[in-house]
Structure 1
Amino acid sequence: MSSKSGTFVIVGGGLAGAKAAEALRDKDFDGDVVLFAAEEHLPYERPPLSKEYLAGKKKLGDFTAEPEPWYRDHHIDVRLGTPVSAIDPRGHVVRLPDDSTVHYDKLLLATGSSPRRPPIPGADAERVHYLRTIDDADALDRALAEAGSLAIVGGGWIGLEVAAEARRRGLDVTVVEAAELPLLGALGREVAEVFAKLHRDHGVDLRVGASVEEITTAEGAATGLRLGDGSTVEADVVLVAVGAAPNTELAKAAALAMAPDGGVLVDSSLRTSDPDVYAAGDIASARHPLFDAHVRTEHWANALKQPAFAAAGMLGQPTEYAELPYFFTDQYDLGMEYVGYAPDYDRVVFRGDVDGREFVAFWLDGDSRVLAGMNVNVWDVLDDVKALVRSRKPVDADKLADPQQPLNTLI
């Protein structure tokens, strides 16, 4: 089979799936491309669901990856509402729920992730919401429009973004987080404290170090929360936002190698342990050449950028995914971008006005190398922050903290 012919199958109808189809055609692949999407919607971006879409600032068409005519014009066989039930690497086929099969020469898994559902009573009651799909967002929007109060289980990105929108609408909002601070695992204590203060300043009742024993109900519908200390939170609507789990069931059943972080183990070309199967997006635990580690992040940037590298690999072209992990958020008057990878760091250096929420934060290791940086309401430094991370060189922390010292002079 020529690398420019045959049948390439994409399993997953999110942004990563759409970008993979685009990349294959951009790289002049003229074979068959079949994209299986479990949802009935064309692939779309997910960050707006808890941001601009929920706020009524964007419509679905604004963040749909490509309109229907594009798939038709580029001869992409998109099968909406069609989940894949199994893959058979030995037979090079995917199996569908009706037990039919589709042959592939190369396969890309881009199955994304699903909201974690905690094993607590009431988690499946009416007026309990999870947020992953456009249909989830529509249901949550309708519920918030009729509610006076919202309780959120989990102080991660989704929970805090929805909290900000609910406060904008005037709802009473309570966020219950098991850790000592919201976003503690993602950002560390120094910066997590910034987000805790942000939400308290905007009237959120933030309960940290707290467990949820039960989502209380009446007549099958949620009425609030009962916490581990015996206290209760009354709420018209409950959002459960305790993180996401990668959808790796197909990969596990196909005996593909898995990473300790729960993702599908891939090399820097995004190839799995099977040479004809690749993985991208939320599920991919990819070998990162800069950090010399396998990195898996559930963020938009991976779904946007990884597929082009996976497509190159599927076409037999040498490729290496070395983009820095990146994510962003918008909450109230705070907008930020984070770039880098700092699971273990020695200290955080701030540059600018932290109390005024206009600053840059840098995560440093014990050798004073910048592992990651985050710009908060400062919009002209991202490239310099990336360069500092990529340099892997020690920096003078005092100069790093000095706003009068140009960042590009520290590289």
Structure 2
Amino acid sequence: MVAAPKAGRIVVIGGSAAGLAVAEEVRRRGFTGDVVLIDKEPGLPYDRPPLSKQLLAGEWDVERLLLRPSEQWDALGITHMPATAALQVNAEASTVRLSDGTELAYDALVIATGAAAVHPPSLGAGLRGVQVLRDLPDALRLREALGHGGRLLVVGAGFVGAEAAAVARGMGVPVTMVDPLPLPMVNVLGEEVAVMLDSRHRAAGVDLRCGRGVAKVVAQDDRAVGVELDDGAEVEAATILVAVGARPAVSWLAGSGVPLGDRDRDGVEGVLCDAGGRATDKIWAVGDVAAWMDNGTGRHVRSEHRLAATEQGRAVGAALMGAEPAASTLPYFWSDQYDLKLQSYGSTGRHMAFTVVEGSLEEGRFVGVYGHRAPEGHPRHVDGVLGNGKARALRTWRQAVLDRAPWPVTDPTAKVSTAEATAL
């Protein structure tokens, strides 16, 4: 392992949760050299998950999003360069060229540029009234648009789209949500849970058009006024939110000497790293932009979870100081939609087996577990858990995921399943 010296310069590109975690960890472990955090966004680094939840709903102000309040920055001893983009890395010379014209040398470089929202030209990119939701200005612009009324058309029923639709309905805004898949969030949560979400959105008044795509965006002058769907239906809208996914922000690294994944060749995009986040002797990557090697499967994997971003940052910070990182915990996400606060640990997905072990989906208070299917078609272990409204049971099943507990055999007349009894 090549570690940074105790003195020298560590440069972190990206004011993300992962990037800040690297900077804080090396300082905590006694690094006395320069730590430079370069961020293309103005202002202090902030948390992104609440953008489509509390901030969009007007429940939080911008200050509450900050990863660290302004008064803590002096104590960190970090040189923060906001509103400055990294334009090019020269891995051979160990330098990075910045948008202000400077060229910065480094002893260790950490890439934490995250992911950028996908906005195809066919979905109205460049038209007024059409936007994505990835950063703070996006969220503030959408919040303002929702305050003016008129129909919101959401293209994409994944995390961002479904959460934004729920917030808009809470504000009394009429919403149409379009997705080519048959159910909202079905790829992430599987059909059983997606059916429940479909019912919740429809009950809240969302005009849900699943199994449909957008054929074209209808515009007057340079402003979008609606869309035509692939079944010929027309939907008028005052605002169109394009929420069709994100891709790792690596275009600026072309020709840099940093190893980049290709979806067709490697099955994954992003900065290709070993199992500890190292891409080259002096370059590391963390967060959504990073594809870390999974030694168990021999494949590079990106972990697009908020908790994983912080853990990767701490792990790389420890490695840069020559220390062993702490053991990682489970991937975690949450999603607020109406009265639901869905929380998940471990792996979930449409391709996995799923069963409810506590409560019921119909009632909305439940815990369900996911398992990767073995060759004979049945899962052997609990690989993930999802729940709402049952915090104690969710904690129990989170431990079952950590323990790789046997797949549960549930008895409808019993109070707990065999796997939960084992965990208890």
| 3-state SS of paired residue (2:23) | helix
Deviates more, 1:245-254 or 1:46-55: 245-254
User: Which residue does 2:410 correspond to in 1?
Assistant: 398
| Structure 1 counterpart of 2:321, from 304, 307, 315 | 315
Give the Cα separation in 2 of the matches to 1:194 and 1:2. 50
1:141-290 matches, cutoff 5 A = 141-259=143-261, 260-272=267-279, 274-288=280-294
Do 1:149 and 1:237's aligned partners in 2 also have CA atoms closer than 8 Å? yes
Gapped runs of 5+ residues in structure 1? Answer: none
Residue type at the aligned position of 1:229: D
> Distance between the aligned counterparts of 1:251 and 1:409, measured in 2?
51
Match of 2:400 among 388, 395, 401: 388
Structure 1 position 25, deviation (Å): 1.2
> How far apart in 1 are the matches of 2:136 and 2:204?
27
The CA distance in 2 between the partners of 1:67 and 1:312, in whole Å, is 24
Aligned partner of 1:295 in structure 2 is: 301
- Shift in Å at residue 119 of structure 1? 3.1
State the one-letter code of the partner of 1:267.
Answer: D
Distance 1:290 1:391 in 2: 17
For residues 278 and 113 of structure 1, what CA distance do their matches in structure 2 show?
A: 16
Q: Which amino acid aligns with 1:354?
A: L
Counterparts of 1:291 and 1:344 in 2: how far apart (Å)? Answer: 20
In the other structure, the counterpart of 1:55 is 57
Give 1:378's aligned amino acid: K
Of 285-294 and 357-366, deviating more is: 285-294
8 Å Cα contact 1:345/1:363 also seen in 2: no
Q: Secondary structure at the match of 2:47?
A: coil
CA deviations on 1:181-221 (whole Å, 9 max, x unpaired) are 11122122222212111111111011011110112111211
- Equivalent of 2:95, from 93, 96, 111? 93
Q: TM-score, normalised by structure 1?
A: 0.93
8 Å contact from structure 1 (residues 368, 397) kept in 2: no
The separation in 2 between residues aligned to 1:120 and 1:206, in whole angstroms, is: 21
Question: Which residue matches 2:264?
Answer: none
Partner Cα distance (2:73, 2:412) in 1: 47
- State the 1:270 CA deviation: 1.4
Q: Which runs of 5+ in 2 are unaligned?
A: 262-266
CA distance 1:359–1:257, change in 2 (3 Å): same
Identity among equivalent positions (%) equals 33
Work out whether residues 345 and 371 of structure 1, in 8 Å CA contact, stay in contact via their aligned partners in 2.
no
Matched AA of 1:315: M
- Change over 3 Å in CA distance of 1:71–1:370 after alignment to 2: same
Alpha-carbon separation, structure 2, partners of 1:11 and 1:340: 28
Worse overlay, 157-166 or 279-288: 279-288
State the AA in 2 paired with 1:139.
R
Written as runs of structure 1 = structure 2, the 5 A alignment for 1:349-388 is: 349-351=355-357, 352-364=359-371, 365=373, 366-388=378-400
- Aligned-partner residue type, residue 339 of structure 1: Y
CA deviations on 1:247-270 (whole Å, 9 max, x unpaired) are: 122444323333422122222221
Q: Do structure 1's residue 4 and structure 2's residue 16 form an aligned pair?
A: no
| Amino acid of the structure 2 residue aligned with 1:221 | R
State the AA in 2 paired with 1:93.
T
Whether the 8 Å contact between 1:268 and 1:321 is mirrored in structure 2 is no
DSSP-derived class of the 1:229 partner:
coil
* Contact in 1 for aligned 2:15/2:37 (Cα 8 Å): yes
Give 1:43's match in structure 2, choosing from 25, 42, 45. 45
Cα distance change of structure 1 residues 345 and 180 upon mapping to structure 2, 3 Å threshold = closer
**Alpha-carbon shift at residue 319 of structure 1 (Å):** 3.0
Matches of 1:315 and 1:172, distance apart in 2: 53
Contact 2:409–2:417 (CA under 8 A) maintained in structure 1: no
**Distance verdict in 2 for CA 1:236–1:96, change over 3 Å:** same
Alpha-carbon separation, structure 2, partners of 1:100 and 1:162: 39
Tell me which residue corresponds to 2:18.
16
1:322-367 Cα distance to aligned partner (Å, 9 max, x none):
3321110111001111111245755211121211110011112323
- The answer on 1:336 being equivalent to 2:342 is yes
Shift of the 68–406 alpha-carbon distance from structure 1 to 2, 3 Å rule, reads farther
Number of paired residues?
Answer: 410
1:210–1:227: 8 Å Cα contact kept in structure 2? yes
Q: CA deviation at 1:295?
A: 2.9
Query: d(CA) in 2 for partners of 1:269 and 1:320?
Result: 12
Q: Distance in 2 between matches of 1:338 and 1:401?
A: 26
Query: What residue identity is the alignment partner of 2:328?
Result: A
State the SS of the aligned residue for 1:136. helix
Alpha carbons 1:19, 1:307 under 8 Å: kept: yes
State the 1:47 CA deviation. Answer: 0.9
Q: TM-score, normalised by structure 2?
A: 0.91
